[in-house]
Amino acid sequence: MLKKILIVFLIILGAVAIATASFEVVFADQLPYGIYIDGKSYPKANKSEVTKFVSESIANYSDTGITLKLGDKSKVVKLNELGVTFNTNDTTEEAFNVFSSKVPLVGSASLVYAVVTGKNKISLATTYDESKFKTFIQQNIHPFFDTLATDATLSLDKSPTVINLEKAGQIVNDRQLRILIDDAIAKHSTSFSVPMEVDTPDVVSSDLKQASNDADQLLARNISLVAGTKKVSLKREDIAGWLSILSESNTLRTKPDSNKIKDYLNKLAPSVNKKATNQIADPTQTVLTAGIAGLTLEIDKSVQAIMDGLTGDKKSDSIALVTTTTNFKTVTYDPQEGGTAGLAEGKYVEINLSRQKLYLYEGQNFVNSFAVSTGKSSMPTPIGTFAVQSKSEVAFSNTYKLYMPYWSAITADGQYGMHGLPYTKTWRETDAHIGTPVSHGCIRLGPGNDSYVFGWAPVGTPVFIHK
């Protein structure tokens, strides 16, 4: 009896083997029944055909966005924005690998095992551009869904200071979001709720108790700053603007901030600084206008003085700022000469057409003066502010066919200038007309005076011409 049962079993086993072998022969290059790609079955399709079907499925799905939801907020995200790329060939190969084997019966056994375990269901093979994924999440998802925590803060505009309470927030959980996106792609889900996590404040109200006490003590003081003869009584908001909250031995403290104090002093400096005003005297050294000393606020040293006055060993409510005094200079000029002192800070030439005089000044100081001959009424010397443009020991006028010694052009086109008495190879102008306006528009100087002015006024020297 046992022998008969064994024979029947072997016959059945042989039949199954023959059937299985026949099954593997039939589907040697084709996808068998029981394998699903992205939820669809393609029995008897070869690799080329499966690849085509998968490509079409990918094309349809790639255009579908995933809607991320949070309360009344929603945002549609395209898969390519997330850096997701579908791999057609890998998907096809994975499907065929479930069944394919060169060993008889193994392929069929593998298929049966896959069906039992669920591994016969093939998802679309994907790869991520991790950099693109992270960048998109940081730039587009977090700003849209995150509600960042709010730290506790101090309001210094009230007395005593007020501690504003902290508030927790919530931010997107990147790790869980990635898992949900992978699951949505595998299941062709079109939406899901954004996973969030608590965003905890860095500073809570209890952290600011010492800082609040520090601020109250500093802001209660009546502090004034003294710079020379100037005194500035500070308001509460002035001192509050100097303060910063810093961590000291794991405790938050309110301290004066040297950078903020420096910004304040830079704004204060123009009202403190004074430029020295020269004392003006006549040739006998009689003072005509009293001089005023200059004052400059030393910013960095004054910052340290304030820091010491607020928190150092030299605490004081009246803080002397550090200044530097600049003594004035005494300059002389002769008011009887008719020139104008102080038209420029350095050297300059002044020409008075009414007086037919040329004056040399250096700031407030009168240097010299000479009689000149300027343009006649039909060819007047131009009025205005000019400057020495170029110089030449001897220049030649093509217009008048004249040589002009010690030439200093005062207009860019070289049409007008200061020079000595003109001459030709056979003729020389005398100085008899000096003091009378008879020139072609230039400023003529007599012998000796022409070389003096030429040597004294370099290129760039301002030239003021007036009636």
Domain stop point among 110, 127, 144:
127
Query: Is it the case that residue 3 has pLDDT exceeding 60?
Result: no
Pick from 372, 363, 352, 390: which is nearest to 467 by CA?
352
pLDDT of residue 80: 84
| Mean pLDDT computed over 393-400 | 94
Instruction: State the burial class of residue 28 (Cβ atoms within 10 Å of its Cβ: 0-12, 13-18, 19+).
Output: exposed
pLDDT of residue 14: 40
323 and 353 fall within a common domain: no
106 and 229 fall within a common domain: no
Looking at the structure of the chain, the number of domains it has is: 3
376 and 322 fall within a common domain: no
CATH number of the CATH domain containing 361: 2.40.440.10
pLDDT of residue 336: 62
219 and 248 fall within a common domain: yes
310 and 406 fall within a common domain: no
pLDDT of residue 29: 67
Tell me if 350 sits within 8 A of 367, measured CB to CB.
no
pLDDT of residue 268: 95
Domain stop point among 286, 301, 330:
330
Banded pLDDT at 370 (limits 50, 70, 90): very high
Q: For the chain, how long is the longest CA-to-CA vector?
A: 162
Pick from 298, 302, 301, 276: which is nearest to 289 by CA?
276
346 and 454 fall within a common domain: yes
- 19: in domain: yes
Question: What is the C-alpha to C-alpha distance for residues 390 and 467, in angstroms, rounded to an integer?
Answer: 25
| Mean pLDDT computed over 82-86 | 85
- 97: in domain: yes
223 and 266 fall within a common domain: yes
Pick from 463, 347, 328, 353: which is nearest to 409 by CA?
463
Tell me if 405 sits within 8 A of 421, measured CB to CB.
yes
326 and 383 fall within a common domain: no
385 and 269 fall within a common domain: no
Sign of dihedral through CA atoms 431, 432, 436, 437? negative
Query: Is it the case that residue 101 has pLDDT exceeding 80?
Result: no
Query: Is it the case that residue 113 has pLDDT exceeding 50?
Result: yes
pLDDT of residue 12: 42
- Domain residue limits at 13: 2-64+85-127
pLDDT of residue 318: 92
Question: What is the C-alpha to C-alpha distance for residues 417 and 85, in angstroms, rounded to an integer?
Answer: 79
- 134: in domain: no
Question: What is the C-alpha to C-alpha distance for residues 387 and 390, in angstroms, rounded to an integer?
Answer: 9
What does pLDDT average to over the chain? 85
- 137: in domain: no
Sign of dihedral through CA atoms 440, 443, 447, 453? negative
Query: Is it the case that residue 107 has pLDDT exceeding 50?
Result: no
Joined together, the tokens standing for residue 80 give 């390519």
| Mean pLDDT computed over 171-175 | 96
Question: What is the C-alpha to C-alpha distance for residues 297 and 138, in angstroms, rounded to an integer?
Answer: 48
Banded pLDDT at 192 (limits 50, 70, 90): very high
pTM of the model: 0.54
Distances, alpha carbon 86 to alpha carbons 54, 92, 157, in Å: 10, 12, 59
| Mean pLDDT computed over 168-195 | 91
- 247: in domain: yes
| Mean pLDDT computed over 36-46 | 77
- How does pLDDT run across 444-456, given as a tens digit for each residue? 999 999 999 999 9
302 and 346 fall within a common domain: no
Residues in the chain: 467
Tell me if 144 sits within 8 A of 73, measured CB to CB.
yes
CATH number of the CATH domain containing 318: 3.10.20.800
- 151: in domain: no
| Mean pLDDT computed over 410-436 | 94
369 and 424 fall within a common domain: yes
- 243: in domain: yes
- 226: in domain: yes
Pick from 18, 17, 30, 15: which is nearest to 99 by CA?
30
| Mean pLDDT computed over 457-461 | 97
Question: What is the C-alpha to C-alpha distance for residues 56 and 449, in angstroms, rounded to an integer?
Answer: 100
- SS3 of the chain: the string is CHHHHHHHHHHHHHHHHHHHHHHHHHCCCCCCCCCEECCEECCCCCHHHHHHHHHHHHHHHHCCCEEEEECCEEEEECHHHHCEEECHHHHHHHHHHCCCCCCCCHHHHHHHHHHHHCCCEECCCEEECHHHHHHHHHHHHHHHHCECCECCEEECCCCCCEEECCECEEEECHHHHHHHHHHHHHHCCCEEECCEEEECCCCCHHHHHHHHHHHHHHHCCCCEEEECCEEEECCHHHHHCCEEEEEECCEEEEEECHHHHHHHHHHHHHHHCECCECEEECCCCCEEECCECEEEECHHHHHHHHHHHHHCCCCCCEEECCEEEECCCEEECCHHHCCCCCCCCCEEEEEECCCCEEEEEECCEEEEEEEEECECCCCCCCCEEEECCEEEEEEEECCCCEEEEEEEECCCCCCCEEECCCECCCCECCCCCCCCCCECCCEEECCCHHHHHHHHCCCCCEEEEEC
325 and 353 fall within a common domain: no
Banded pLDDT at 118 (limits 50, 70, 90): low
Tell me if 201 sits within 8 A of 152, measured CB to CB.
yes
* CA R_g for the chain: 48
- How does pLDDT run across 343-369, given as a tens digit for each residue? 888 999 999 999 999 999 998 888 889
Domain stop point among 330, 353, 381:
330
Question: What is the C-alpha to C-alpha distance for residues 38 and 55, in angstroms, rounded to an integer?
Answer: 11
